[in-house]
Chains A and B, each alone.
Chain A
């Protein structure tokens, strides 16, 4: 069965960069699908951040495009989120999730990792 697991630092200072890892088991991230990052703010609002596809192409939410980068390590079956110049408004639970590449839904999700931005 496909499983996704996020990991990260838990706490980041304002103006720094955050880096999160999603480790996928049960499916190769180079076989098919898109591999997404989605975050949920306090108060429950969900925001799609971007994805890296099985081929390595990326797509980002325009609201984040200047700050975000999604990369991968195919040898470890992992993909990564980097978000630059964070503020307290980036405090959220971050999920990785799988989807078809376009026009679709998220069928497998990780359990989420909470990130707090605070000095």
Chain B
């Protein structure tokens, strides 16, 4: 199985900050990496596909980068509605998810 490791586990930030969330794969997955946001008691919502491709309806402050084994989700100027869990998911070999990063208000 391809293991995805997300860091940090928890990130405490102030609205308006720029943040970067990391996802590292146990082997190269090219750009088969996707990002989701999950708010409390809701289902995950797709934010970014194929490492850096934007999704219709997702605010432009969300962006993704990386390839191979190292990936980053960036949020430019965090808003209060952005707080919650973030997961990465790979589709290079079957489908696995990272353990998540919790974005919380400082």
Q: Do A and B come from one complex?
A: yes
Instruction: Give A47 to B99 CA distance when docked, in angstroms.
Output: 10
Interface of B is mostly: loop
Number of A-B contacts (CB under 8 A): 45
How does the 8 Å CB contact mask read for B34-71 relative to A, with 1 for contact and 0 for none? 10100000111110011000010000000000000000
Partner of A95, one of B43, B46, B49: B43
| CB proximity of B92 to chain A, nearest CB, Å | 7
Q: Please report which residues of chain B, range 1-43, place their CB below 8 angstroms from some CB of chain A when the two chains form the complex.
A: 32, 34, 36, 42-43
B49-A109 in contact (CB<8A) = no
A103-B32 in contact (CB<8A) = yes
Partner of B43, one of A48, A62, A103, A109: A109
A103-B92 in contact (CB<8A) = yes
Judge whether A61 is part of the interface by a CB distance below 8 angstroms.
Answer: yes
A48 cross-chain contacts in B, Cβ below 8 A: 94-97
B46-A107 in contact (CB<8A) = yes
B43 cross-chain contacts in A, Cβ below 8 A: 95, 109-112
**B42: nearest chain-A partner, CB-CB:** A111
| CB proximity of B54 to chain A, nearest CB, Å | 13
Judge whether B89 is part of the interface by a CB distance below 8 angstroms.
Answer: yes
Most buried by A among B87, B95, B97: B95
Instruction: Give A110 to B87 CA distance when docked, in angstroms.
Output: 17
A75 cross-chain contacts in B, Cβ below 8 A: none
How does the 8 Å CB contact mask read for A87-119 relative to B, with 1 for contact and 0 for none? 000000001000000111111011110000000
A103 cross-chain contacts in B, Cβ below 8 A: 32, 91-92
Most buried by B among A46, A61, A112: A46
21 A-B pairs with CB atoms under 8 Å apart are A44-B99, A44-B100, A46-B44, A46-B97, A48-B94, A48-B95, A62-B94, A95-B43, A103-B32, A103-B91, A103-B92, A105-B34, A105-B49, A106-B34, A106-B36, A106-B44, A107-B46, A109-B44, A109-B45, A111-B42, A112-B43
**Chain A interface residues toward B at CB < 8 A:** 44-48, 61-62, 95, 102-107, 109-112
